[in-house]
């Protein structure tokens, strides 16, 4: 059955050459753990991508129940946590995944830096990778407010004060994020929009560019 479906799709969009181009791509020997124990450090990027996929899928599930307004946000999270089938598990995956993806991205960035993989001809990919790191941090910050509890409120308040301390642009950044002088309905709406629409769209575009450059330039050599 699956073969028939694949053949039907392949006949119309010519999938086989694309699949062969991916599947037949040679992987350098120095990233094979069977030959080099240190090759495990090359897994950090793939693990980061795997966690990003989990965050996207679990986040899509959470948005089906979350209500982004100050009257219902906390109650919608409580309902998801206690009443929805597997809701506690999915929310837990999203919650802990948000921390793990930052850890893995940090380790991946350290690997690239200490192995000199940011040097010519990979300077542009380094900039893209650092931009991805910044977006992931932004996703963590904007997502923290969404449960709309006391911890989220005061953590966001501290974050906005830090943003306000940026020279010259701090006031504009704080106003852009908070939507006013206090953390309220406008803040929650903006954080939700940034967390669910703007940052994920930018992240997808940068990850696509990152993979294209990796494919064109190849995996960097050993230390």
pTM of the model: 0.91
Establish whether the linkage from the previous residue to 91 is cis, with ω within 30° of 0: no
**How far apart, in whole angstroms, are the C-alpha atoms of residue 214 and residue 129?**
11
Spans of all domains in the chain = 2-217
Tens digit of each residue's pLDDT (9 = 90 or more) over 113-154: 999 999 999 999 999 999 999 999 999 999 999 999 999 999
Contact of 177 with 160, CB cutoff 8 Å: yes
Predicted confidence at residue 35, as pLDDT, reads 64
Average pLDDT over residues 91-116: 96
Q: CA dist 174 to 1, 46, 105, 139, 171, Å?
A: 55, 34, 26, 16, 5
Name 113's Cβ contacts closer than 8 Å, sequence gap at least 6: none
The two three-digit tokens of residue 183, written as one number: 């953390």
Question: Is a pLDDT exceeding 90 seen at residue 70?
Answer: yes
Predicted confidence at residue 207, as pLDDT, reads 97
Question: Is a pLDDT exceeding 80 seen at residue 63?
Answer: yes
Q: How many Å from the N-terminal Cα to the C-terminal Cα in the chain?
A: 47
Average pLDDT over residues 78-97: 96
Yes or no: is domain 2-217 CATH 1.20.810.10?
yes
Tens digit of each residue's pLDDT (9 = 90 or more) over 5-43: 988 988 888 888 877 877 777 777 777 766 666 778 888
Predicted confidence at residue 34, as pLDDT, reads 64
């Amino acid at each position: 059955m699956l073969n028939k479906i694949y053949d039907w799709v392949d006949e119309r969009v010519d999938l086989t050459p694309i699949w062969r181009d991916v599947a037949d791509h040679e992987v350098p020997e120095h990233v094979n753990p069977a030959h080099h124990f240190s090759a495990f450090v090359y897994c950090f990027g793939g693990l980061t991508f795997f966690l990003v996929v989990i965050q996207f899928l679990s986040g899509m599930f959470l948005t089906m129940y979350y209500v982004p307004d100050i009257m219902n946000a906390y109650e919608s999270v409580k309902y998801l946590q206690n009443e929805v089938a597997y809701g506690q598990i999915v929310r837990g995956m999203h919650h802990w995944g948000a921390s793990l993806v930052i850890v893995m991205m940090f380790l991946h960035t350290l690997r690239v830096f200490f192995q000199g993989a940011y040097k010519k001809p990979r300077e542009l990919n380094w900039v893209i990778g650092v931009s991805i790191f910044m977006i992931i941090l932004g996703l963590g910050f904007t997502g923290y407010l969404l449960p709309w509890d006391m911890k989220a409120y005061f953590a966001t308040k501290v974050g906005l004060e830090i943003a306000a301390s940026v020279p010259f642009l701090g006031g504009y950044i704080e106003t852009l994020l908070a939507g006013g002088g206090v953390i309220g309905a406008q803040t929650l709406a903006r954080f939700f929009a940034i967390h669910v629409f703007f940052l994920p769209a930018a992240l997808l575009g940068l990850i696509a560019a990152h993979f294209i450059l990796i494919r064109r330039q190849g995996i960097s050599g050993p230390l």
